[in-house]
Amino acid sequence: MSDPENNLTPFLKDYLSSLKVEKNLSDNTINSYRTDLTLCIEFLSDSGIRDLSTVTTADLRAFFKQLSSSGLSATSVARYFSSVKGFFIHLLLQDYIRINPMDKLNPPKLPNRIPVVMTLPEVNAILAIPDTEDTFGLRNRTMLEVFYACGLRISELINIKLSDCFLEDGIIRVLGKGNKERLVPIGSEAIKYIEQYLVKSRPSLEKKGKSLSFLFLSNRGTKLSRMGIWKILRKCVEEAQINKDIHPHTFRHTFATHLIEGGADLRAVQEMLGHADISTTQIYTHIDPEFIKQEHKMYHPRG
C-alpha cells in the first residue's frame, strides 16, 4: 500500500490528540485507533482520494468489504467500523465534512452471544429492595448502586478501598485483571449512597485490624466475600420477583448494554470495563429490538 502521509493524515493526528486530551484514553487504546484508522486512510489513498470531504459511503463500504474478504472475523470488522465511525463523527463536528458517509452504513452482524441483561425497571426494582434505614440495607443498596454505576467485576468491587474513592472528582480507581489500574466514572446516585454509607453504616461495621480500609465490609468487619455478595443479590432478586438468571456479573453486562444503547462510544465502554481487546466489548453492540422500535418512533418523522 502507498504511504498514507498525505493531506489525509493531519486529520487523523488531530483526532488521536483529541481522544487523548478530551477523553483521556489509554495509550494502548489510542494506538488501537491509530492502527485501524491508518489502514482505512491507506485504502482511501490507494483509491485516489486526497481529501476526506470527498469520501463517499461507497468508498467506505468498499473498505469494509475488503476487510471481510481478507478473512477478518465479524467482530474484528466491527472494531474497525467503530473506529472509522468515531473518526468521521469528529470530522463532522469539526465542520470539515457536511455529510457523514458512515451514516448509511450498518455494522457487521455479530454472533448472537449477548449475555443476560436487565431492563432499567428491573434494575430499579432490585435497587429498591434494601432498607436504607438499616445499617446492612444501606450497605447493600450502596454496593448495588456501585455495581450498576461502574460495571465492575465482583473481584474489583470487593477490593475497592477508601483511598480508591475520589468522590469529588466523580471517579473510583479499580484494580482489574492483571493488576491493571483504571479510573471509572461513578454517577451522582452512587456517590450519594457512598457518602451516606460512609457516615451512617461503615463506622459501625469497621473493626480495627480487620477492615484494612476496604470500602464494603461484612458483619465481621472484614471485606465482603464473593459468596456474601451473591447471597445479598439473590435475596434482592427474589424479593423483586424478577424471573431472570441474574448474578453479580449481570450488572456488568447491563451497565455496558445500557451505555451503548444510550449512544456511548464503544471504545469508551471498553476503557470503563477494562477490556484489553475491544472484540470482548463488542458483544454489547447487540441492541434490543424494542429499543430500536422506540428509537424509530421517537426520531423518525413518521414514527
Give catalytic status of residue 177 as yes or no. Answer: yes
β partners of residue 217 = 223
How many CB atoms are closer than 10 A to CB 44? 22
Which one of the listed residues 252, 253, 258, 267 is annotated catalytic?
Answer: 252
Which one of the listed residues 90, 253, 275, 286 is annotated catalytic?
Answer: 275
**How many angstroms separate the Cα of 229 from the Cα of each of 167, 206, 248?**
23, 18, 8
Give catalytic status of residue 90 as yes or no. Answer: no
Which one of the listed residues 85, 139, 141, 153 is annotated catalytic?
Answer: 153
> Helix, strand, coil proportions of the chain in percent (round to 5)?
60, 5, 35
> Helical H runs in 47-151?
57-69, 74-93, 120-127, 135-150
Q: How far apart are CA 87 and CA 95, in angstroms?
A: 13
Which one of the listed residues 13, 65, 104, 177 is annotated catalytic?
Answer: 177
Give catalytic status of residue 258 as yes or no. Answer: no
List phi, psi (to 5°) of 162: -55, -35
3-state secondary structure of 29: helix
Give catalytic status of residue 302 as yes or no. Answer: no
Q: How far apart are CA 257 and CA 205, in angstroms?
A: 34
Give catalytic status of residue 286 as yes or no. Answer: no
Pairing of strands 165-166, 181-185: unpaired
Collect all residues with Cβ–Cβ distance below 8 Å to 2 and sequence separation of at least 6.
42, 45, 46
State which amino acid sits at residue 210. K
Strand ranges (DSSP E) for 165-220?
165-166, 171-175, 181-185
3-state secondary structure of 223: strand
Which one of the listed residues 20, 200, 247, 249 is annotated catalytic?
Answer: 249
Cβ-in-10-Å burial (0-12, 13-18, 19+) of 60 comes to buried
Q: How far apart are CA 224 and CA 203, in angstroms?
A: 15
Give catalytic status of residue 182 as yes or no. Answer: no
Active-site residues: which are they? 153, 177, 249, 252, 275, 284
